[in-house]
Structure 1
Amino acid sequence: MTSSSTGRRHDARGRRVLITGASGTIGRTLGERLTRSGARVVGLDLRPGGDEPFPVIACDVTDDARTAAAVEEALDVLGGLDVLVNNAGVGGPAPAEFAPGTEVRRQLELNLLGTWRVTAACVDALVAARGRVVMVTSRMAVMQLPLAAAYGASKRAMVAYADALRLELGTHVSVSCVYPSAVRSPIHDSTKAAGLSLEGMSVYEPLDGVVDALVRTALARRPRRDVATTRRGAVEFFLARHLPALTDRVVARTLAARARSGVFDGAELAAGVVERHRSGT
């Protein structure tokens, strides 16, 4: 572990970083950026692409034994661990009005419990290095959007897990949560296929800005507890935390307009939302 720093950041050179979801849109870009800066990066991913500029180990983070084995292999390659970036995640259509099924369980298992498994396997190495955990959460962890209850619930639970981890390991390990809004990536494909696209309800933000925020958080000498990725995101985060009734009204008003406009027509999972809004006019 390097102890040198440049400005308000640690020098990336030689820092040992483990990234989950490392072959996806955010994970790969982050890994490339850190690798170019001189960090030693290893990734975990269910389906490694094979062409990442850093080693990626195949790992199903929903499996206890496979996760433990993959983390052990990664730590052997790195020789320890300075930064863990919990980035692996999955989204999909999951309206709150329906009983939880396979899709809900899939998102909770991967987004929450997968994060928990990987982190627990890394604790000893992080404590030894006085390292850092960076959680890639979501704006939906504080400001829920409709028709995607499982994703918001899993990300809010991920933040609660981070809070508990911070209290338990805070003498030796820092824990930061980063809250991006939507980034254009395949994670949204299943929601679009179900006719539940949240275009117009969530503002897409540039990938580079999200990665910039993650790099700053991973290397900051004094990491922040909660990190928004844009100025708009910081405002939304503040309002959602301090004026939740106001943000509820804004989201509800936007949903009503979209439901009445026909955006969700033909989407079976949104039929109840459409009917209730149209019958209420």
Structure 2
Amino acid sequence: MTISFVNRRQDPRGRRIIITGASGTIGRSLGERLSRAGARVMGLDLRPSGDEPFPVLGCDVTDPASVTSAVADALAELGGLDILVNNAGIGGPAPAEYAPGDEVHRQLEINLLGTWRVTAACVDALVAARGRVVMVTSRMAVMQLPLAAAYGASKRAMVAYADALRLELGTHVSVSCVYPSAVRSPIHDSTKAAGLSLEGMSVYEPLHGVVEAIIQTALATRPRRDVTTTRKGAVEFFLARHLPALTDRIVARTLAARAAAGAFDGAALAAGVVKRHRNRP
């Protein structure tokens, strides 16, 4: 389940790689590492900053025409594709008790359907090269946290998509999922602004460890199906998969403590959670 760092890697030199969300915290660091190692990296991002240390093309993963055009340009530049890293993703406040609105649709559209669109556009090139797909999912794909239902649902659905893709393309293309916990990045800003920060429920992990796990997965001679990024993450993954009722109790107890401590006071979207915890029998 966890990465074996003694697993041999393929030589990155000359490997043709596309990374989505390439201008963000993880994508930029990943692309820089791989480029320095000699890989040929093309990034896709909605808003390239222009100062990335590797080429990044503008691409809106919610727009099929934009995906088709950007992927075609990237493949033409690379001359094929060995590795696709589906890293693009967003988070945001989305309690499960409320009807899905724009925020929920946005997260599903980017995290799930955006991944699907880009992958579909790359399938022929990946099959031709007997390549690899790496899905940067989340620990929340297996262990949901409260007040962020859309993110967990989109990431769990992303894993389901990866499973289907593996069954369909597995004769020619390997498909792996990487499950990081939280990394400090702007992805958490909207949740924090809404007063729904999950600090105290999810522990931040170092960026370099997540990037290393993705690189190991992308280049491993024997790629793993599911890859966690820390020892703690491996334990959480195991418990969530095999003892889900136990993880539910742990998360629920932590939420109760956070609510009692006033962590969500004043947050409109958490009003129901706060009220129910204060009126518990």
Structure 1 length normalisation: TM-score? 0.97
Offset at 1:260? 1.1
Q: One-letter code of the match for 1:36? A: R
Give secondary structure in 2 for the equivalent of 1:43: strand
Q: Judging changes above 3 Å, is the alpha-carbon distance between structure 1 residues 131 and 58 closer, same or farther for their aligned structure 2 residues?
A: same
What is the total number of aligned residue pairs between the two structures? 276
SS at match of 1:10: coil
Structure 2: 5+ residue stretches without partners? 1-5
Cα deviations across residues 105-148 of structure 1 (Å, max 9, x unaligned)? Answer: 00000000000000000000000000000000000000000000
Gap regions ≥5 residues in structure 1: 1-5
- Output one character per residue of 1:196-238: Cα deviation in whole Å (capped at 9) or x when no partner: 0000000100000000000000000010000000000000000
User: Residue 146 of structure 1 aligns with which residue?
Assistant: 146
Partner of 2:176: 176
1:7 is displaced (CA, Å) by 7.2
**CA RMSD in angstroms, aligned pairs only:** 0.9
Distance 2:103 2:258 in 1: 24
Confirm or deny that 1:131 pairs with 2:131: yes
**Alignment partner, residue 3 of structure 1:** none
CA–CA distance in 2 between the matches of 1:74 and 1:175?
20
Partner of 2:186 in structure 1? 186
User: Per the alignment, in what secondary structure is the counterpart of residue 31 of structure 1?
Assistant: helix
Q: Deviations over 1:137-171 (max 9, x none)?
A: 00000000000000000000000000000000000
Alignment-derived partner of residue 3 in structure 2: none
Question: Where does residue 201 of structure 1 map in the other structure?
Answer: 201
1:40 correspondence with 2:21:
no
Partner of 2:162: 162
Higher relative contact order structure (alpha carbons within 8 Å, sequence separation ≥ 6): 2
User: Under a length normalisation based on structure 2, what TM-score does the superposition of the two structures give?
Assistant: 0.97
**SS state of the match for residue 43, structure 2?**
strand
Provide the C-alpha distance between the structure 2 equivalents of 1:231 and 1:263, rounded to a whole number of angstroms. Answer: 28
Aligned counterparts, 1:45-124, within 5 A: 45-124=45-124
Q: Distance in 2 between matches of 1:154 and 1:161?
A: 10
Deviations along 1:254-281, one digit per CA (max 9) or x if unpaired, are 0001011111000000000000000115
State yes or no: 1:14 paired with 2:14.
yes
Which position in structure 1 is the counterpart of 2:29? 29
Q: What is the alpha-carbon distance in structure 1 between the residues aligned to residue 13 and residue 7 of structure 2?
A: 14
Measured in 2, the distance between the counterparts of 1:141 and 1:17 equals 25
- How far apart, in 2, do the equivalents of 1:155 and 1:246 lie? 21
Q: Give the counterpart letter for 2:32 in structure 1.
A: E
User: What secondary structure is seen at the aligned counterpart in 1 of 2:85?
Assistant: strand
Cα distance in 1 for partners of 2:136, 2:8 equals: 21
Mapped pair 1:238 → 2:238: yes
Following TM superposition, by how much is the alpha carbon of 1:9 offset from its aligned partner in structure 2, in angstroms? 0.8
Give the letter aligned to residue 253 of structure 1: R
Identity %: 84
Letter in 2 for 1:231: R
Q: Which amino acid aligns with 1:137?
A: T
Per-residue CA shift, 1:6-65, capped at 9, x if unaligned? 971100000000000000000000000000000000000000010011100000000011
> C-alpha separation between the residues in 2 aligned to 1:178 and 1:7?
16
